Amino acid sequence: VIEDNVWIGMNVSIAAGVTIGEGAIISMGSVVTKDVDPLSIVGGTGVRVINKRDREHYENLKMANKFLIRDSNENKTVRNGRR
């Protein structure tokens, strides 16, 4: 399960059954074998926590509709569900 507003770098492998928490960032080339907490910045094999995102800043970005999402039905990028 990949929750909202997650950034996944290039060449990342994610094992079956893993949950990536909301707002998490996974660095390129990582191998994710266990759940990633929300707002965590992780990297490496088995994913080591590098840092945590600032919750207040994240919530401010979210309230300002600063995140883009992919509409798989129409193959378009939209801002928080808006066209």
Residues near 78 by beta carbon (within 8 Å), at least 6 away in sequence: 68, 69, 70, 71
The pTM of this model reads 0.79
Mean pLDDT of 64-79: 65
Residue pLDDT, tens place only, 19-36: 999 999 999 999 999 999
Residue pLDDT, tens place only, 32-57: 999 999 999 999 988 899 999 999 99
**How much is the mean pLDDT over the chain?**
86
Give the per-residue pLDDT at 75: 56
Cα angle value 71/32/80 (rounded, 5°): 20
